[in-house]
Structure 1
Amino acid sequence: MPFLGKDWRSPGWSWTKTEHGWKRIIIYGHDVDRIHREIELACDDKENVFVEDICEVASVKRRKDLNNHNTKSQFVFRDKWIYVQKGSTKERHGYCTLGEALNRLDFSSAIHDLRRFNYVAKLFQLIARSQLTSLSGAAQKNYFNILEKIVQKVVEEHYNPRLVKELLQDLSTTLHSLTLHAGRCVLVGNVNVWLCRLDDILKWQRQLNHLHIPKQMCSGLLLSDLPLSTQNQILCKLSDACDIINLGQATPTLRILSESRTLWKRLCHFHFSDKQHSSRNLVLTKSDSVDWKLLYFTLQKRYPVKEQYGDTLHFCKHCSILFWKDRQLALLFKDCGHPCTANDPDGCLVPVSPQHFIELFRF
């Protein structure tokens, strides 16, 4: 009859008595069926009072094997928020890590929202550049699982392939540097696992490079059918220079509008007017002979451009909680997205950019 030790020497282990004393039972994968048969016989005879404990051990073993060997498994959390607190206090011990934030926050479903897709892709690009080695094994597994879903969404819906191509290129460069030069000392897991991930990245890059966006036959109103003033307003709403250049290649009319000096002047003031040194140059350049397009790309080499996203993560300064703000729930039920105790929850919220997200977990 098995002995289940509950003392400090054998917490939860199964033991059996032999001629030489008590021996611990080690359950392997091929022994699970045999244990189940023994449990069924014991249930029929109703002689083994430890049947429930043995069932619990077998089920825990199966769950552990599933989590260890199934690379697609992910942790599911009901709460879509997480505490971000540096250091330890009497009320809360430890601190939140970047890997824990990737596992707890709902990035897997956020990529299906067009307002959050660019935010998650940009965040993953920053992690690929500098923070990949700081992730735990579970966080790295979750990172590549979400990355695979990002590539699949681009292949199926043809949404923003340029950003994902840049993400894969930065990730490939980082992994080549770490696996070929640094070695396994800075990576969690076997080097062969990372080489397989490099093969997956190359496969994803080939899929995006051979991506063909079919032309959709539309019998309604086209962009070129709109008035020139409306087309010009559409161009003025774009904040990405690459999007303006690509849109200018669609029709000859849009090409003329995309080269407008007024358009590039607004773009320069939007991105670089708050920079201390660049604002001085923008004020001094009041002459009509200034090439604003050339000035934009000159300033872009020295200063980062502003980032715009449809939806971002929010940080509550009162509660120190990082979370996704669901706008529909906020409008219907006046729910701010996390258990806030402030009198004015909306006044304590701060939008978190991808770079700010990385800085929150630098200790």
Structure 2
Amino acid sequence: MSFYLPQLFQLIARSQLTSLSGAAQKNYFNILEKIVRKVLEDHYNPRLVKELLQDLSSTLHSLTIHVGRCVLVGNVNIWLCRLETIVKWQQELNNMQIPKQMYTGLSFNDLPLYMQNKILCKLSDACDIINLGQATPTLHVLSENRTLWKKLCQFHFSDKPFCRNLGLTRADNVDWKLMYFTLQKHYPMKEQYGDTLHFCKHCSILFWKDFGHPCTANDPDSCLMPISPQHFIDLFKF
């Protein structure tokens, strides 16, 4: 499952639910159920879906209980039932047991330290780095490396205003981990997805990058424009 879809659904949960038609709302929850079932089946990245369900639960509580009247399409009892379903999904994800994998060959801990460090440097999600650092004392030391957090700051924030000199900073006393979480409060992180939607300006169609499409342009690559989840939502605004 691409990270794109949970991110798209999270944006809808935060601000777009009231603009969905009844049919769109029904499709939203049908697809969401498939996402949850997929995560429960293959245990792939449950954290993203947990965050999505938390945002959706908070939004629905506000709209159906605290607003004073329902601003969503359909009977309020339907949405209260959906809230109960979300709580059930959250409980299932929290109780999910990831089976221990049995390997007889080379393990991650058997790799040389420089290779383990290179792998950590390829991660772009701070939560993944912190969680991996809790696995062993050695990984904890590697996960606290200043250079690792400096690269993470450069990756996510070097193109932002007032942050363009991050790569030039050579001071030895900078706490780059603290710097990362400080910047995170003020700037959005760079988006990364397993697969992304693209728009072909020549053919005027949307398609997944990994699947491509039979473009008739002389230079198809020059016609492509990546579509972020927020941009995808904006396409439907009039």
* Both structures adopt the same fold (TM-score exceeding 0.5): yes
Deviation track 1:220-255 (CA, whole Å, cap 9, x = no partner) reads: 111000011110110010000000010111111111
Residue of structure 2 aligned with 1:337, choices 201, 213, 222: 213
Deviation track 1:110-150 (CA, whole Å, cap 9, x = no partner) reads: xxxx4x2x110111001100011111111111110111111
Q: CA deviation at 1:326?
A: 4.1
SS in 2 for 1:194: helix
Following superposition of structure 1 onto structure 2, how do residues 192-211 of structure 1 map, counting pairs within 5 Å?
Answer: 192-211=77-96
Equivalent in the alignment of 2:235: 360
Instruction: Please give the alpha-carbon distance, in whole angstroms, between the structure 2 residues aligned to 1:245 and 1:150.
Output: 25
The letter for the 1-side match of 2:173 is: S
Check 1:326–1:304 CA distance in 2 against 1; reply closer, same or farther (3 A cut): closer
Instruction: Please give the alpha-carbon distance, in whole angstroms, between the structure 1 residues aligned to 2:105 and 2:234.
Output: 47
Q: CA deviation at 1:341?
A: 4.3
Equivalent in the alignment of 2:225: 350
TM-score (norm 1): 0.63
SS in 2 for 1:238: coil
Alignment gaps of 5+ in structure 2: none
Following superposition of structure 1 onto structure 2, how do residues 102-181 of structure 1 map, counting pairs within 5 Å?
Answer: 114=1, 116=2, 118-181=3-66
The letter for the 2-side match of 1:234 is: I
Residue of structure 2 aligned with 1:310, choices 154, 170, 194: 194
Deviation track 1:166-188 (CA, whole Å, cap 9, x = no partner) reads: 00000001111111133555211
Instruction: Please give the alpha-carbon distance, in whole angstroms, between the structure 2 residues aligned to 1:185 and 1:205.
Output: 23
SS in 2 for 1:304: coil
The letter for the 2-side match of 1:354 is: P
Equivalent in the alignment of 1:292: 176
Say if 1:312 and 1:352, in contact at 8 Å, map to a contact too. Answer: yes
Instruction: Please give the alpha-carbon distance, in whole angstroms, between the structure 1 residues aligned to 2:146 and 2:66.
Output: 47
Say if 1:316 and 1:322, in contact at 8 Å, map to a contact too. Answer: yes
Q: CA deviation at 1:300?
A: 0.5
Following superposition of structure 1 onto structure 2, how do residues 34-45 of structure 1 map, counting pairs within 5 Å?
Answer: none
Q: Is 1:322 aligned to 2:206, yes or no?
A: yes
TM-score (norm 2): 0.94
SS in 2 for 1:351: strand
Say if 2:9 and 2:52, in contact at 8 Å, map to a contact too. Answer: yes
Residue of structure 2 aligned with 1:233, choices 87, 103, 118: 118
Check 1:190–1:249 CA distance in 2 against 1; reply closer, same or farther (3 A cut): same
Q: Runs of at least 4 residues of structure 1 off by over 3 A?
A: 181-185
Instruction: Please give the alpha-carbon distance, in whole angstroms, between the structure 1 residues aligned to 2:221 and 2:168.
Output: 39
Which structure is larger by alpha-carbon Rg, 1 or 2? 1
Instruction: Please give the alpha-carbon distance, in whole angstroms, between the structure 2 residues aligned to 1:244 and 1:272.
Output: 17
Q: Is 1:264 aligned to 2:149, yes or no?
A: yes
Deviation track 1:257-301 (CA, whole Å, cap 9, x = no partner) reads: 111111111111111100011224x26742101111111111010
